[in-house]
Amino acid sequence: MASSDEPEIVERGQKKDDKEEGEGGFIDKVKDFIHDIGEKIEETIGFGKPTADVSGIHIPKFNLEQADIVVDVLIKNPNPVPIPLIDINYLIESDGRKLVSGLIPDSGTIHARGEETIKIPVSLIFDDIKSTYSEIQPGSIIPYKIKVDLIVDVPVFGRITIPLEKTGEIPIPYKPDIDVEKINFDRFSFEETVAILHLKLENKNEFDLGLNSLDYEVWLGDQSIGGAELAKSTKIDKNAISYLELPVTFRPKDLGSALWDMIRGKGTGYSMKGHIDVDTPFGAMKLPISKEGGMTRLKKNKEDGGGGDDDDEEEVH
């Protein structure tokens, strides 16, 4: 074999080494690429769906006309980026009857790896409820279900809806009936007279009322004889009647003809107006009270020239 036919071992070896070096660089690049993709995949896997829960329900306003309800919703975002809360749909129903519904758009952003309490304000107008559903009676307690749909936009997952529900009870309040059963004049003189109003309060609600305070003003005819406040708190049981005695001190000589009509036995009209502050299982209420169109007549007793013990009592109609 001629020397020219011998294989070029060294030259081929050098080419082989060059190829290996080239392949090595390519493999390293592939490894780096795979590593980068792996990190991105790990980032992607790190995204998760947010969670939410109804953390509380408050009734900041509660009266005869409406109940304002605030629903606290706690939302947790496990993701490394903020997520927008696009819409909030809410519905309050009672035994399948819709009481109120609404939509709150563009409700803010939940911070990355954070949590937010979203407050959803809802108002229940009692006249609307009673006019829509005649079977719902004033004074009753009805069950309710609050349904909330949170619509959020999450990377990787896209737009998702988180449904929530919460149940409870809400009253349809009834104003307590008030009546003046009689008026006793504890002390009577032209300079100072003390009248005791005997009140009957009827609670027609299916829940107790804790009577904390009562302020009132009394009129004889067109003349105000003043008023006072309840000295101590009391409880009015559900569907029950309570009796109160309220004193009023006034100066008869300032009343004019109304007083003289009483003394002469002709009688005079009376009325009273005021407010009561009560506690209920659903919150505090300030309620108006009124009584108009009553009649009272003072019969003079013996020392005033009257006929006897029977004349000590005052008539109230």
Cα distances from 14 to residues 11, 19, 100, 209, 232, in angstroms, run 5, 9, 84, 101, 108
Question: What pLDDT shows up at residue 7?
Answer: 44
Q: How confident is the model over 188-211, as pLDDT tens digits?
A: 777 788 888 888 889 999 999 999
Q: How confident is the model over 40-78, as pLDDT tens digits?
A: 544 555 678 899 999 999 999 988 999 999 999 999 999
Instruction: For residue 208, give the 3-state DSSP assignment.
Output: coil
Q: Which domains does the chain have, with CATH numbers?
A: 51-171 (2.60.40.1820), 177-316 (2.60.40.1820)
Q: How confident is the model over 251-270, as pLDDT tens digits?
A: 877 777 666 666 666 777 77
Q: How confident is the model over 3-41, as pLDDT tens digits?
A: 445 444 444 444 445 554 555 676 776 666 555 554 554
Instruction: For residue 255, give the 3-state DSSP assignment.
Output: coil
Residue 7 CB coordination number (10 Å): 7
Instruction: For residue 206, give the 3-state DSSP assignment.
Output: coil
Do 162 and 152 meet the contact criterion of CB atoms below 8 Å apart? yes
The residues, any chain, with a CB within 8 Å of residue 197's CB and separated by 6 or more, are 180, 183, 218, 245, 246, 247, 248, 272
The residues, any chain, with a CB within 8 Å of residue 29's CB and separated by 6 or more, are none
Residue with tokens 């005079």: 268
Which secondary structure element, helix H or strand E, spans residue 179, and what is its range?
strand 177-187
Question: What pLDDT shows up at residue 37?
Answer: 53
